[in-house]
């Protein structure tokens, strides 16, 4: 199974990088994990709605070029549909049974994902009603993917 995480921007903290490395190592037993970073646009001071829309479009085009054909695409969106960890694991398992072997997760930058990416995604997923930084959400997502594999393999998992 292949998992692609396409994220806008680079990580800027050592503690997040260390945690991501830990979950990459854990996930290597279950899948081929690729974290693909695309360049973030610089947000102007006091951006207008049009500035944000243009910025999202530029970042969105970069993301779109990285999505593999025939991959099931989850767009992370605070307005998306929430799932429990068990529900997420079951969804991944059901999608595998339907023939999907590649999953792509999209993480927007500071202003989120463009409307056209949200509309093109197979599923709009909310990991929480709370808002997290686009850097922190990478760690939260990796932990939930790891948890899904543990659940689907009937393996205990306690951190």
Residue 84, annotated as binding a ligand: no
Residue 28, annotated as binding a ligand: no
Residue 23, annotated as binding a ligand: no
Which of 128, 22, 1, 149 shows the shortest CA–CA distance to 76?
128
Residue 29 tokens, joined: 């037993």
Residue 128, annotated as binding a ligand: yes
Residue 76, annotated as binding a ligand: yes
Pairing verdict, β 32-38 and 72-82:
unpaired
What pairs with residue 8 in β-bridges?
Answer: 38
How many other C-beta atoms are found inside a 10 Å radius of the C-beta of residue 105?
Answer: 25
Residue 85, annotated as binding a ligand: no
Residue 11, annotated as binding a ligand: no
Residue 132, annotated as binding a ligand: yes
Binding-site positions for S-adenosyl-L-methionine:
76, 108, 127-132
Binding-site positions:
76, 108, 127-132
């Amino acid at each position: 199974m292949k998992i692609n995480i396409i994220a806008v921007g680079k990580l800027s903290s050592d503690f997040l990088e260390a945690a991501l490395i830990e979950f990459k190592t854990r996930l290597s037993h279950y899948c081929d994990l690729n974290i693909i970073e695309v360049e973030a646009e610089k947000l102007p001071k006091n951006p207008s709605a049009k500035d944000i829309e243009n910025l999202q479009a530029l970042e969105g085009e970069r993301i779109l070029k990285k999505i593999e054909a025939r991959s099931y695409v989850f767009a992370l969106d605070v307005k998306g549909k929430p799932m429990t960890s068990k529900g997420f694991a079951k969804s991944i398992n059901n999608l595998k049974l339907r023939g999907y072997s590649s999953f792509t997760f999209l993480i927007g930058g500071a202003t989120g994902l463009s409307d056209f990416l949200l509309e093109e995604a197979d599923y709009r997923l909310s990991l929480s009603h709370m808002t997290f930084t686009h850097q922190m959400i990478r760690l939260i997502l990796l932990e939930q993917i790891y948890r899904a594999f543990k659940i689907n393999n009937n393996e205990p998992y306690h951190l």
